[in-house]
């Protein structure tokens, strides 16, 4: 009968006063190269404190896995923290109300049918090169004007949201992160029947995006923008951002 033996190689321990010097420990490894070296090609580590019976952050399930993180003490944990996380609350009104709007006004503006606005920004400092994860879900309402008149013309509108990094002003060549767009179109027969009642539904549509941005050491600013385009020419449009339940998640790795 074959027996499986656990071989632990302990190297000498030296005590000098209250200081202990201990060389590497190997499990199934004769010449350990780290403080603890598992030599088996099929070896695994089990931590009872991280299983589903003992840890609220472990969702259980035989075929499911969960990421393990390291906290500031070097302890392994399943709990993750973020620089910014709305976590079920409204990201844009719980701490700083936002009432960002955009309007395309016929005749008054340049004849390009395009407008943009900065919605909010986040500034933070990192002391090492890192990766920033961004996730957002932003509500959008589309109307004809600021009195919230429903659109009943035959023209489509494109509404976009995105982040920029360390660019105080937006230019055509600016790198846009986590861009997401929606096309709003209402099929009222406005041209043949201008008096027809609009049949569009009022309510929220959403832009959502996810991206990862490499950051270098120093202070960085993320700026969150919204745009609206009605095509060539100015077709009256009014867009209200962040009027509904919104979410944002920023995590530094």
Angle at 125 between CA 124 and CA 131, to 5 degrees: 85
Instruction: Give 201's DSSP letter.
Output: P
Closest residue by Cα to residue 12 from 25, 28, 23: 23
Cβ within 8 Å of residue 17, ≥6 positions away: none
Closest CA to 221 of 99, 121, 119, 72: 121
Alpha carbon distance 195, 122 (integer Å): 46
pLDDT at 5: 55
Which of 141, 130, 183 lies closest to 160, judged by CA? 183
Residues 6+ apart with CB under 8 A from 147: none
pLDDT tens for the chain, residues 1 to 253: 455 555 555 555 555 455 555 688 888 888 888 888 888 777 678 889 999 999 998 888 888 899 898 888 998 999 888 888 877 777 766 445 455 787 877 766 667 788 888 988 899 899 999 999 999 999 999 988 888 888 877 788 999 999 999 999 888 889 999 999 999 887 666 566 666 666 677 789 999 999 999 999 999 999 999 999 887 778 888 998 988 888 999 998 8
* φ/ψ of residue 175, rounded to 5: -65, 130
Measured CA to CA, the distance from residue 84 to residue 90 in angstroms comes to 12
The reported pLDDT for the residue numbered 132 is 93
Task: State how far the Cα of 106 lies from the Cα of 243, in Å rounded to an integer.
Answer: 24
Closest CA to 141 of 152, 150, 153: 150
- 3-class state of residue 45 by DSSP: coil
User: What structural domains does the chain harbor?
Assistant: 84-252 (2.60.120)
d(CA 118, CA 226): 6
What are the tokens at 99?
């009432």
- In the structure encoding, which two tokens stand for residue 7, read together? 């071989």
Contact predicate 186/198, CB 8 Å: yes
- pTM of the predicted model as reported, rounded to 2 decimal places: 0.73
Q: How many CB atoms lie within 10 A of CB 163?
A: 22
Residue 115: both structure tokens together: 């407008």
Measured CA to CA, the distance from residue 145 to residue 132 in angstroms comes to 37
């Amino acid at each position: 009968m074959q027996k499986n033996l656990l071989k632990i190689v302990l190297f000498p321990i030296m005590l000098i006063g209250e200081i202990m010097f201990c060389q590497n420990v190997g499990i199934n490894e004769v010449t350990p190269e780290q403080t603890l070296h598992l030599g088996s090609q099929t070896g695994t580590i089990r931590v009872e404190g991280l299983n589903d019976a003992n840890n609220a952050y472990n969702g259980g399930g035989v075929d499911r896995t969960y990421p393990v993180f390291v906290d500031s003490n070097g302890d392994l944990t399943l709990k993750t923290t973020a620089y910014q996380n709305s976590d079920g609350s409204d990201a844009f009104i719980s701490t700083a109300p936002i009432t960002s709007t955009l309007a395309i006004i016929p005749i008054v503006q340049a004849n390009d049918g395009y407008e943009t606005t900065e919605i909010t920004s986040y500034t933070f400092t990192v002391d090492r090169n890192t990766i920033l994860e961004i996730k957002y879900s932003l509500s959008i309402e589309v109307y004809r004007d600021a009195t919230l008149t429903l659109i009943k013309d035959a023209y489509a509108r494109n509404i976009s949201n995105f982040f920029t990094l360390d660019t105080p002003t937006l230019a055509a060549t600016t790198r846009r992160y986590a861009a997401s767009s929606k096309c709003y179109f209402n099929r009222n027969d406005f041209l043949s029947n201008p008096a027809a009642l609009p049949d569009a539904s009022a309510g929220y549509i959403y832009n959502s995006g996810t991206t990862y941005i490499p950051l270098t050491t120093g202070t960085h600013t993320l700026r969150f923008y919204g745009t609206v385009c009605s095509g060539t020419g100015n077709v009256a449009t009014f867009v209200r951002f962040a009027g509904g339940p919104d979410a944002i998640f920023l995590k530094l790795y």
